[in-house]
Structure 1
Amino acid sequence: MSRRLAQGFVPEPPPGTPVVIALGANLGDRDGTLDAAAAELRALPLTDRVRVAEPISSIAIKPDGPDAAAPRYLNSVATLRTRLAPSVLLAALHEIEARHGRVRAERWGDRTLDLDIIAYGAVLSADPALTLPHPRAAERSFVLAPWLALDPDAELPGAGPVRALLDRLGEDG
C-alpha cells in the first residue's frame, strides 16, 4: 500500500462539471429507448458518475399546452459529471437522439427520444443555441420530480431549490 493511502489520503474525484439531462420519449419502445440512451450517456467520453432516475409517465406538452390525445411521455433525468464543453455535450446528445430516430419536424412534436441539458454546473447562458439552465425546467414536474429523486438537495441555477420549485407547481405541474 502506498504511503499516501496508508496516511488516509483520499484521491480527489476526477474534475468535471455536474450536469443534469432530461430524457423523454413518447413514440416507439419508450422504455428500451430510455435504457439505451442512458447506456450511451454512460459511454460518453470524459464523462462519469452517470445516475438515471426511475422514469415517470406524463402527458404530452404541445405549444398550446397539454395534449391528452398525443401519446404519453416516459420521462427521466440523468445526473453526471463531464469535462465536455456544453456545445460538445449538446452535439453528442443530438447524435444520440438521431441514432434513435429523432426527427425535428415540428416544435414540441412527438418524438422517439428527447435529450435536453437542464443545467450545466452553475452556468447561466442566454445563447439561443443553448440556453442554460433550460428555460422551462422550473415549470416541468416531469423534470423536477425525477431530478429530486436523484438529488434531494438539487438546485436549479437562477431559480432555487428543486424541491421548492416542485412544491410551487403542485399536483398539476
Structure 2
Amino acid sequence: MNTAQLLEDGFGRVVESVERTLDGLDDAELTHRPAADANSIAWLVWHLTRVQDDHLADAFDVEQVYTTQGFAQQLGECFAHDPSDTGYGHDAAQVAAVRAPAELLLEYLTAVHAQTVALVADVSASDLDRVVDDRWDPPVTLGVRLVSVLDDDLEHAGQAAYLRGILPQ
C-alpha cells in the first residue's frame, strides 16, 4: 500500500461511517440534541465535511467543493450561514440552526470525498513534508494537515454514530 492508497482508505472510512449513521434518519432525528449545548448529527456531519473541504482545498490550493458545486447555496437555503463558516466555535444556537436533509449532507460529503481522493491520488511520502500553513510554530506540513483532518473527521463521525445510538425511541 502506498501513501495515496493509505489516505484514500482512511478518508473512505469517514464516508462509510457517515453513510451508516445517516441511513434512514428523518429531520427530527438529524437535529435531535440530547442536551441544550450538545451537537446534533446534522451539525456533526456538516462540520466534518466542511473541515475536510476547507482544509484540503487550502492545502492543495484548489477551490472548495462547497462553493464550486453549489452546496453553499443549497445548504444556505436550509440554514442561514456564511459560506466561509466551517462550524469551528459555533455556539448552541448556531448548532441548532444547522438543519439539512440526510440526502443533501451525504451528497456534499460524497462530493468532498471525490475531490479528496483526486487530491491525494498522487501524494507520495516525500510530499508529506511540504509546508502548507506557516501561521503555526512549527509550520504545518501536508502530512500533519492530512492526519489532523482525518482524525477530526473520524472523531466527529464517531460522535454522530453515538448520537444515533442514543436517539429516543
Answer 1 or 2: which has greater strand percent: 1
> Taking structure 2 as the reference length, what is the TM-score of the superposition?
0.31
> Taking structure 1 as the reference length, what is the TM-score of the superposition?
0.30
Q: Which has the higher contact order (CA 8 A, sep 6+)?
A: 2
Answer 1 or 2: which has greater helix percent: 2
